[in-house]
Each structure stands twice: as C-alpha cells, then as structure tokens.
Amino acid sequence: MNKKQIKFILASGESYKIEFKENFNKNMACDMVAFVNASGGKIFLGINDKNQISGIKITNKLKSQIQNLARNCDPEIKINLEKRENFLIIHVFEGINKPYKCSSGFYLRQGSNSQKMTRNEIIEMALEQGKVKFDEQICQEFNFKSDFDQNKFDHYTKEAQISNLLKTEDILINLNIAHKANKTLKFNNAGVLFFAKNPQRFFVDAVMDCALFKGNDKVEVLDRKVFRTGLLEQLQEAIIFCEKHLNLRYEFKKARREEKYEIPIRAVEEAVVNSLMHRDYFFKGAHSTIYLFNDFLEISNPGGLAKGLSKKEFGKKSVRRNPIIADLFSRTKYVEKVGSGVKRIKNAIKKAGLKGPKFKFGSFFDIEFIRNGGVNGGVNGGVNGGVNGGVNGGVKKVEKFIQKNPGVRANLIASNLKISQRTMERIIGLLKKENKIEFKGSFKTGGYYFIKNDKIS
C-alpha cells in the first residue's frame, strides 16, 4: 500500500472495510471476525480517534499477540501483517469457512462498525454457507408410530434391492435416516420426505409440479399433475408424466422393437432425480417443476448451484447439497454412484443426435431440453402414439396377464408379452397407482395380484 493510498484512507475515515485502533487489545478479535464473516478488511494499528497516526512500537511480541488472536478464533483466521514506519496494517481476508467466531461470539461488519450477530443471523449465514444440511436435521414433529408409511418403505427397499433380513427400524438406522433417542425412533428430514404418510404436512413446498402447456408460455394448460407424495414416488410419477407427453417412435433393429422418445428418457430421469436431490428444501414458496412447452422441456428446482461449486466446475465436480437424500437415490437404478449426472445427461443427448441441453442457474437451477415434435406432436403423437403404442398401450395386455396368472413377477410378464423392462415398470406403476394390482410376498419370491375382481374385456 503506497503513501497516497494511506493518505486517502486516513482522510476518509473508518468504513465497511477499514478499522482504526490506537493500541493493541484483545477486543481486536471481534473486528477480525467481523471482517472475515463479511467481505474482508484492514485494521490499522497505531491510528487515533482523529484519524491521525499516533504511532505504535512494532515488536515481535506484538506481532505474535496479533497472530495468536487470529489463531484462537474458530475456525482459525488467516491474516497478513504489513509493517509501516510507525504503524501496522492487519490484512483480514474474507473467510471461506463462515461463520467465524472469537471468544466473545460471532460478529459481522455492518457499515463502519463490528456488530455482534443475532441468533437468526448466525443461522442464516450457516445456511447460506451450506454448513447446515436440510436433510440431516431431525424432524421433531414426526411420530414414527402414526406418520411412518410402511408401503413407501417396502416400495423403496424393493427398488433399492435391500434385503429384509433386518427389522425395519434397523434398516432405517443403517440408512442414516433415523436414530434411537430415549427408546424413541427419531427421523431426520430425508426420512420424512421419503417415508412419511404425508410428507407435505411437514414440508408444504416439497412437491413436484408437472404441466403441459400449449405454445411456449404458461398461458393455456393442457394437462397438469401436482404430486404430493414421497420423493421416490415423485420421481417415478414425473417420469410417467413426461413419457405420456413426449413424442415416441419405434425403431426395429435385429427383429427387436426399440422405443425412441424425442428426448432420451434416461436424460430426463437424470434431470428429474438431480432436481429432487439437489433442490434447496429451505427455500420457501417454490416447488420443483417439470414444464413441457411446444419447443422445449424445462426441469427446474429452487436453489442454484450448491455452495462450493463454481460455474467453471459445474459438470466436472459433484457437490451434494442434500447428502442423505442423494445417498438414498443412489441406491436405486435411477442414479449411478460414480460420475456426474450432468455428464450423463449431455452424453445421452449427444448420442441421440440432439442439441443442448441448456443449463441455467441463479436462485433456481434449470435444465432445458429442446423438443423435436411440439405440443401437437406431443399430444397426438405423444399421447396417441405414446399412450396407445407405448406405456398405456400395453396396460390391457398386462392386466389380462396378471388376472390369468396371479402372483406372476414383472420380468415374466415382460418376457411373455415382449415388452421392454422399462415400459413394464411404467405400466406396473400406473396399475398400482390406480389400485388395480398389488405386490404380495417377499422381494425374492413374491408377485403381482389383482385387487379388483373385475373381468377385463
């Protein structure tokens, strides 16, 4: 710092990034913490209240005392000391591990003062820095006996291929979504979002809003579904919604029929699961959304890039905003444990010979896929071709087959009816949603049965 700069600072006085101290005292730790919790700053030691250089004797002992103040903060503050002729400049840099505290508490720079932070300010800063994970927090209102949904749990363990050798409570604990406290099973927020009978009673905004619009704006709604259920069910229902409205064609290769959607379903799956895993569940008043327009499909979730992930690192580095939710999904077929979902989305789109997708991040994270067919193609081709020829086209066949073969397993149905495994899973999902079939027995030996005795015409 040159003489002109110092002269200007002295003439301007204390500010958001400048603090004057005539003598050393331990209260300087409050100013260090205030600067490191804000945008950084400088403490000029040896400057009096009149903004004049009063001078101070700079010794090794003094420098050691200042360094000790910084080291004793939690976490430790890194500083640089700049020695001038008769005063000392302490450079304090903005922290990368906020919030910081000294022995007397948490402080933040506000204007030209170092103010002690309130409880809410501390919590807000911790949330902004990603120090408090939403999914790890215990949901005190959740009552295991009355709020736990055994059917959702059974559905999840089947999807994740988790053995039922252990008791339900032991599996929940091993999945890191519950723990015992005074003989009571306490659920964290991740467990509530997956396995509560009504997750939205606890987190009203944790829903998936899916809509098909006419044209490219949100004026005329052609179809809409709002899924208020567990996260795994939201994922599966959202994928079915997209399959229903995306254009579908068939390609025959080596006497085998392959389904080809205008946007690869694998890319859509990755985008939807990414939305559910990485959304900011602290964000109030907004939902995860899937909007189909004439020319594009937009998948959006509250919360931009996770703390610690820069725009340059996006797609190359993975940072989990909700590690427990991400781990629960990673046990299913929808998530690969190794690599970035963004890369897999790009690769699927590239393999299909399509353009994009576009990624946007601010307060929300958006993925935009370019459509090839549009709404007319999506409604007529996607619904008529996709429903009659795709997922829903095989529903009647599957219904008849289960009626004639009680206890049959999904792989045998797919094999006998020559339906792809992925389509088979969608059909099973639709039939279960309509309460027409149910799964009975263990994961290894059980099968599907009709709930109703109605004959299929």
Query: What CATH number does residue 421 fall under?
Result: 1.10.10.10
Residues 195, 325: one domain? Answer: yes
Residues 142, 184: one domain? Answer: yes
The pLDDT value given to residue 381: 41
| pLDDT of the chain, 457 residues: tens digit per residue | 788 888 889 998 999 899 999 999 999 999 999 999 998 999 999 999 899 999 999 999 999 999 999 999 999 999 999 999 899 999 999 998 889 999 999 999 988 899 999 998 888 887 777 667 889 889 999 999 999 999 999 999 999 998 888 899 999 999 999 998 888 999 999 999 999 999 999 999 999 999 999 999 999 999 999 999 999 999 999 999 999 999 988 777 766 777 889 999 999 999 999 999 989 998 889 999 999 999 999 999 998 777 766 677 776 667 778 889 988 998 898 887 555 678 889 988 998 889 889 999 888 999 999 997 544 444 444 434 444 444 555 788 888 888 888 888 887 888 788 777 767 877 887 888 788 888 887 766 778 888 865 444 4
Separation between Cα atoms, residue 413 and residue 410, nearest integer Å = 5
Is residue 444 one of the residues assigned to a domain?
A: yes
Domain range for 274 is 133-374
Task: Tell me the two tokens of residue 14.
Answer: 């204390």
**Among the three residues 113, 129, 145, which one is the final residue of a domain in this structure?**
129
The pLDDT value given to residue 255: 64
Residues 61, 144: one domain? Answer: no
Residues 108, 141: one domain? Answer: no
Separation between Cα atoms, residue 15 and residue 40, nearest integer Å = 12
Residues 68, 80: one domain? Answer: yes
The pLDDT value given to residue 105: 95
Residues 95, 237: one domain? Answer: no
**Among the three residues 129, 150, 173, which one is the final residue of a domain in this structure?**
129
The pLDDT value given to residue 157: 93
Please report, as a single letter, which amino acid is at residue 398.
V
Separation between Cα atoms, residue 402 and residue 381, nearest integer Å = 28
Whether the CA torsion 42, 46, 51, 53 is positive or negative: it is negative
Tell me the CA end-to-end span of the chain in Å, nearest whole number: 88
The answer to whether 28 and 66 are in contact (CB under 8 A) is yes
Separation between Cα atoms, residue 310 and residue 348, nearest integer Å = 24
- Report how many domains make up the chain: 3
Residue tagged 């219904």 (tokens): 399
Residues 338, 413: one domain? Answer: no
The pLDDT value given to residue 457: 44
Q: What contacts 61, CB < 8 A, 6 or more positions away?
A: none
Residues 355, 215: one domain? Answer: yes
**Among the three residues 129, 156, 186, which one is the final residue of a domain in this structure?**
129
Separation between Cα atoms, residue 241 and residue 433, nearest integer Å = 13
Please report, as a single letter, which amino acid is at residue 315.
G
Residues 328, 302: one domain? Answer: yes
76 by Cβ neighbours in 10 Å (0-12 / 13-18 / 19+) ranks as exposed
Q: Single out the residue of 195, 173, 158 nearest to residue 444, CA to CA.
A: 158
Residue tagged 């997750």 (tokens): 199
Rounded to 5 degrees, φ, ψ at 189 are: -65, -30
Residues 154, 103: one domain? Answer: no
Which DSSP helix (H) or strand (E) runs through 69? helix 60-71
Is residue 199 one of the residues assigned to a domain?
A: yes
Is residue 419 one of the residues assigned to a domain?
A: yes
CATH number assigned to the domain comprising residue 210: 3.30.565.60
Task: Tell me the two tokens of residue 208.
Answer: 């998936």
The pLDDT value given to residue 374: 47
CATH number assigned to the domain comprising residue 71: 3.30.950.30
Task: Tell me the two tokens of residue 271.
Answer: 């985008």
